[in-house]
Structure 1
Amino acid sequence: MDIGGLVTSAGINISICVVLSSLYSVLRKQPSNASVYFTRRFISEPIQHDDPFGLHRFVPSAGWLMRAWQATDEELLEAGGVDAVVFMRIVVFSLRIFIIATVVCICLVLPVNYYGRDMEHKSFRVEPYDVFTIGNVEEGSKMLWAHCFAMYVISFSAFVLLYLEYKSITKMRLAHITGSHLNPSHFTILVRGVPWSQDDSYSKSVESFFSTYYPDTYVAHQMVYRPSTFHKLKKDAKKMYLMLRPTETEYVRDDKPCYLCGGSAHTFKVIHKDNNRSQTRIDDLHPTQIEKECPAAFVFFKNRYAAVIAAQVLQSWNPMLWVTQLAPEPHDVYWSNLGIPYKQVWVRKIASLLCALALVFVFCFPVAFVQGLTQEDVLKSWFPQFRRLLENEFVNRVVTGYLPSVILIVLMYTVPPIMMMLSKMEGNVSRSERKRSACIKVLNFTIWNVFFVNVLSGSFIQQMSVFSKLQELPFQLAKQMPDQAAFFTTYVLSSGWASLASELIQLFSLTWNFFRKFILRSKEEPTNIALNFPHHTEIPRMLLFGLLGFTFAIHAPLILPFLLIYFALAFLVYRNQILHVYVTKYESAGLFWPVVHNTTIFSLVLTQVIAVAVFALKEAPIASGFTIPLIVFSLLFNEYCRKRFSQVFKRSPAQVLIEMDRRDEQMGREEGFYNQLRSAYCQLAYITKDLTISEDFSRVGTNRQRKDDESCQDKDDSSPKSGIHHIELQ
């Protein structure tokens, strides 16, 4: 690819970004799209639109950019929680490190690459991309010291910034723990692998065990149940009813045509609801008793320190029995996985790993096909009927420069849903844990299939033959990376810039909102529109771009300005989305940051190993030798951060918990707090909440279960009703 092809790809993506951003600034001003672009306010309180009709609503504006820029970290923390702030810290870290890398490499490394050989340069537009890479530097050149110096500057800058971010996020996590002094999860542990007894039920076994071994701190427990088939069918029937029921005021009338086909929208008979029959109660449905107790329970303790000790101590000589861990937050519990026997969990994890590896293997074939599209000779041999069309310069640039990255991006959209399904199959007991597991799977998949397989281009058999001698892998990467620099630059343009524009538009939500309001003519406001931030898709993309930035910094510095623009746009776009669109349903308190830190260290070490191989191939043994200490220092720095910070993300400090317990004793704990614990983890309350049916389950089950269920209260009933919120759509 020449620079003209890169300019063509950049022009296409810039046009897409400008058009979609302008369209977004217009669509967000329309009152009918408030549920799409102001979701957080829309679901929290009623919105009354007092923005009169005017031409200004159809004129693009950039006011939302200034509001996103001026938002503070406190506002982000209030809107999206710790995880949202941590995600933005990833963007800020990337911005800072690549500002440094761009300045150093564009001013120092790029001129060395460009004038690395004694050759006559063409005009800039038709200049081959290869002349801007390290492949253009002659063997044995003394100017390779510029690359070694740039590597040191980038590495040590990354170390300093990583340390500062890790320290800041650790303090933020501790502040989150100490700030929520009555968080039910701090007093609760989850017990799985409860042994079966012929004489007693699971509930009796749990009570007997913890009453015996934790007599001073044990308060109560709440069993996990396997819902009966009746409850599952009732839940499905209720969902179907909510989809098909007419509104209280008819939204389909004979006098209103369907805008899709021009005919009458009254395609079925509207059944008016009877007020006496609209409120369905469980008494009318004759519910059956919940069938079985699961070998799992939530156990409550008097203080936080006792709960942490019980969660971390091995409870039995058999590690597969009485397995304990700190309970997730109530809204974070993934109830459907709690009934999975603990002995099956390790089998499920192995099966999930094998499925992920199989997907990685299968995906190598379409990636190899995409790489073939980047080579004009291969493309002509595959599609000889298009040989004449490919001779057109513009068509050739679009097909070989822009189309392959677009195809790869479309293929990559299928990966996150599959990885999320595999993470669910693993048996994770919390939604945040499931999303974190999916994030790691998508990250590993992306790094391997997008980076390694694309760099090691060629037939799949040739790629696999590389690993017959692992010591040759760095040299293979060093040889192939300059040739693939143009492809990855266009990939950043297509996957980065265009994805941010599509993130603003929220195409799926916008399309469904239009269909619901203007085709179905529904006047009911949507109730299930809340979107949680997609960490499992956005964090892997950020970290992949970080890997590309580090590895190509000295090989092909032209990629750095495009990455820098991407991170600058991401800073504004994601702040806007966190403030207005995404709703925080659960909190992991920054557990994604260790993944980010470890991946960044991996990227740095990989970059340094490839640099050693590059200097060796370029016959610069001294520069190669000077790069080896960087690898050692990177590993030592990672080990220091692991000892210094990472333990806080795995275990809660006893000092902090004891101080919080003492503070509660001095201030006096709220009356009925232990009943609130049982209510927070009441499984039946969540079932009835899903069904939108309120009922007292105290008449169902045994005497002990009756006592447990009486404490299960619907927390939504006690929440204050909010008033109408006036919002100006700008």
Structure 2
Amino acid sequence: MPRLVAEEKVEHEEEFRVGRLLPSFEWIKKAWRPSEDDLLSYSGLDAVVFMRIFTFGLRVFRFAVIVGILILLPFNYAGNQLSIDFSDLPNKSLESFSISNVDDGSNRLWIHFCAIYIFTAVVCYLLYIEFDYIASKRIAFFYSSKPKPDQFTVLVRSIPITPERSFSESVESYFSEYYPSSYLSHSMVRRTGKLRGLVNKADKAYKKLVHLKSKNDEQQRYTRSGCLGLCGRRIDLEEYEKSLEDMEHNVMTERSAIVGKEVAAAFVSFKSRLTAATVIHVQQRLKPTEWVTEQAPDPQDIYWPFFSSLFFTKWLSNIAVIVAWICITLLFFIPVAFVQGLANLDQLERWFPFLKGLVEMKVVSQVVTGYLPSLVLDLVQSLVPPVMILLSSIQGYIAFSKIEKSACIKLLWFTIWNVFFANVLSGTALYNAEIFLEPKNVPAILAVAVPGQASFFISYVVTSGWTKIFSAKLFRLKPLIWSYVKGILCCNSDEEHEVPSNPYHSEIPKILFFILLGITYFFLAPLILPFVLVYFCFGYIVYRNQLFNVYKPKFETGGKFWTVVHDATIFALILMHIIAIGIFGLKKVPIASSATIPLPILTLIFNSYCRRRFLPSFRGYPAECLINKDRMDENDPSTSSFFDELGTAYRDPAVKSRRDSRRSESSDSPLLDRYNV
């Protein structure tokens, strides 16, 4: 419970006790008891929206399990298409319980047809209810929040260069002329990459020095210059203090020189929210690539290391990232092909003939074809989220929240393409490459390929869903091992307790992928539905525990992640419809296949209505809300002090001296004195 320890709500036990290893289910009651309002006040609206994904999934798949297991599965089971031997049922494929077992031309397929229409209507209804609920929550959250700097501030990029003025003078002159009654102040963005590196290096050296000074044994109060302090020349404590003083001198020198390193971007603050919103949505000059405005993030949400100030630079970065994403997606086909080789032993024997005797062993074949493929795929896929964060960070986004949302979308489509489509198509059509050249046959191709991978995706839900929820989230084994190793090798001080934040960019795509699997296989292989439902049951209680006890919010978007959830669900429905068109065609029920065609069209119409109805309120708050909130602030005596602090809220932390955080200390004092070393 790192968050509770950091907030001193529970004591951090330094001594190990055997009783701490005994299992306890008290955490389930504590995670279940708090209300949604408690979660909202404790972790923000993003946490509420994150949990609403699980609520939505529970409602959808509770209905899906009832229809799929009680109605569709018995009809699949009673079919004769696959010639099932009921005396040897335990050794038969899971396809026996899929739509593949229903006889061609059977009237039972109309039951599946009706179920698809009813299920689509239920999912769309639940989507609408959730979108409406979250939109209203977003407005209520805005009204209940205190004044925030990002509500009054605009990020201005591509400030034109004038020889007689600096960027700062140009900003003040422009906004004083065109917004004289509302313009408050501005803060220029500067090139602080070098300074930030020096400050981080000095902070690490300080922590290392504190750690060395805390040791009682004089023989241990030294370090080495090599990797992780384990090798290289021996450095004693006095030499280390001298090195730290040199770092302080370099920091002060660079900080003095940073004043003139302005870039063509600034944070401009206004006296009202309405004026800030107007500046954001109105083109400022005749040339649209100058004075480009956008919503400023919260000061704590700003990502300073990479800042693209020019319109052309940001555009070029986006192109480069798209190309890189495509290349990474294509390269991932290599592990996907390997995984499918494990899942299909005939392919594995064809690639590696010398393994024929080994893979024919029953125990080996069950492990290789059952658990191992999904495990390998999940391990390889765990390397992708950091890459997506890196790609999003170089696109020019200046907010952690925008970086994570962009990485979330990239990872979602990466997962859909590589884990779903690549596995499905490579697993059943690996040696028929010509089918990819015929787009008109896509429904038929998917109709053949998708049902055949049901058993693989069931094991994937168990390994990547059930297992990782407990091992990676609840038990947190990786952070435990890493903190122990880092504490020994890196000699980090224990004065700061690091609290993680919820990695939305990696968790939301995974949840949405399970929603896609459940919706897609709803009528194809209903046997997967209980596994998906159990995942959402586990996830609901585990993530409530994490949000209350483990994670601390790093930013607040006001629930904007829900738009990603809505779009992904609509895509899953349309994918189900396309597969249904192909299935009914292959099963020789052309009337049902033709009657399914309007369904994706109706779904797209519903999606268009929802986007017009709700999406504008997610892009920005209505003028009515902004004006009412400004009027409410006029009667708040604390507003004047807020505007006084707004002028310095957007200063780069690297530029700020230690005096800003420690008022009693001099900015000229040595780093060692300031840190009381």
Specify if TM > 0.5.
yes
String of CA shifts for 1:156-197, please: whole Å, max 9, x gaps: 111111111111111111122222241111111110000001
Show CA shifts across 1:478-520 (max 9, x none).
0111211111111111111111122212223201333356x46
User: Deviation per CA, 1:561-602, whole angstroms, max 9, x where unpaired?
Assistant: 111111110111111111111111211111110010011001
Answer yes or no: is the 8 Å Cα contact 1:116–1:138 preserved in 2. yes
Alignment equivalent of 1:271, drawn from 232, 237, 247: 237
- Distance (whole Å) between structure 2 residues aligned to residue 75 and residue 86 of structure 1: 13
User: Structure 1's 357 and 68: CA in aligned 2 closer, same or farther, altered over 3 A?
Assistant: same
Distance 1:207 1:521, change over 3 A: closer
Find the partner of 1:96 among 47, 59, 70.
59
The residue identity in structure 2 corresponding to 1:535 is: Y
Instruction: Say whether residues 1:433 and 2:399 are aligned partners.
Output: no
- Asked if residue 396 in structure 1 is aligned to residue 365 in structure 2, the reply is yes
Matched, 1:334 2:303: yes
What's the TM-score once normalised by structure 1's chain length?
0.83
Structure 2 residue 257 is the aligned partner of structure 1 residue 289:
yes
User: Deviation at 1:652?
Assistant: 1.4
Per the alignment, residue 124 of structure 1 pairs with 89
CA 599–299 in structure 1, closer or farther in 2 if over 3 Å, else same: same
| Contact map agreement 1:40 1:582 (CA 8 A) in 2 | yes
Aligned to 1:260: none
For residues 317-466 of structure 1, the aligned pairs below 5 Å read 317-457=286-426, 465-466=434-435
1:4 aligned residue: none
* 1:330-378 per-position Cα deviation (integer Å, ceiling 9, x unaligned): 1111122335423210110011001001111111122122112211212
Per the alignment, residue 606 of structure 1 pairs with 575
Contact 1:73 1:85 in 2 (8 A): yes
Q: Does 1:57 align with 2:20?
A: yes
SS state of the match for residue 295, structure 1? strand
Q: What's the TM-score, normalizing by structure 2?
A: 0.90
Partner SS state of residue 502, structure 2: coil
What code does the residue aligned with 1:288 have? Answer: S
The answer as to whether partners of 2:5 and 2:11 remain within 8 angstroms in 1 is: no
Checking the alignment, whether the CA contact within 8 Å between 1:364 and 1:460 is kept in structure 2 is: no
- Aligned runs of 1:634-653 on 2, under 5 Å? 634-653=603-622
Asked whether the equivalents of residues 61 and 529 of structure 2 are also in contact (C-alpha less than 8 Å), the reply is yes
Q: Distance in 1 between matches of 2:287 and 2:319?
A: 21
Hey, what's the Cα distance between the residues in 1 that align with 2:595 and 2:131?
Answer: 28
Which residue of structure 1 lines up, in the alignment, with residue 673 of structure 2?
none
C-alpha distance in 1 between matches for 2:55 and 2:196 = 47
Question: SS of the counterpart of 2:526?
Answer: coil
Q: CA deviation at 1:254?
A: 6.0
1:521-559 superposed Cα distances (whole Å, 9 cap, x missing partner): 969425262211111111111111111111111111111
1:112 to 2:61 alignment = no
Deviation per CA, 1:605-643: give whole Å up to 9, x if none: 110111011111111123223322322221111111101
Partner of 1:78: 41
SS in 1 for 2:262: strand
Distance 1:698 1:649, change over 3 A: farther
Which amino acid letter does the alignment assign opposite residue 105 of structure 1?
Answer: G
- Give the gaps of 5 or more residues in structure 2: 222-229, 669-677
Matched, 1:200 2:165: yes
Q: Percent identity?
A: 39
Residue 672 of structure 2 corresponds to residue 672 of structure 1 = no
Aligned residues: 653
Question: Could you tell which deviates more after superposition, 439-448 or 155-164?
Answer: 155-164
Q: Distance in 2 between matches of 1:197 and 1:293?
A: 13
Q: Deviations over 1:190-231 (max 9, x none)?
A: 100000011100011111111111111111111111127456
Query: In structure 2, what is the equivalent of residue 14 of structure 1?
Result: none
Matches of 1:251 and 1:195 in 2, distance apart? 59
Q: CA deviation at 1:279?
A: 13
Once residues 93 and 298 of structure 1 are traced to their aligned partners in structure 2, the CA distance between those partners, rounded to angstroms, is 38
Match of 1:41 in 2: 4
Structure 2 residue aligned with 1:5: none
RMSD: 3.1
Alignment-mate amino acid for residue 415 of structure 1: V
**Which of 466, 478, 484 does residue 514 from structure 1 map onto?**
484
Could you report, residue by residue, the CA deviation over 1:385-437 in whole angstroms, capped at 9, with x for unpaired residues? 33222222121110111111111111101111111110011110111000000
Task: Give distance in 2, aligned partners of 1:463 and 1:205.
Answer: 63
Residue 651 (structure 1) shift: 1.8
In structure 2, the residue corresponding to 1:558 is in which secondary structure? helix
Q: Distance in 2 between matches of 1:603 and 1:500?
A: 23
Amino acid at match of 1:627: T
- 1:284 deviates by 9.4
Please list every run of 5 or more consecutive structure 1 residues that lacks an aligned counterpart in the other structure.
1-37, 257-263, 700-730
User: What is the CA–CA distance in structure 2 between the aligned matches of 1:83 and 1:231, rounded to whole Å?
Assistant: 29
- Give how far 1:278 is off: 9.1
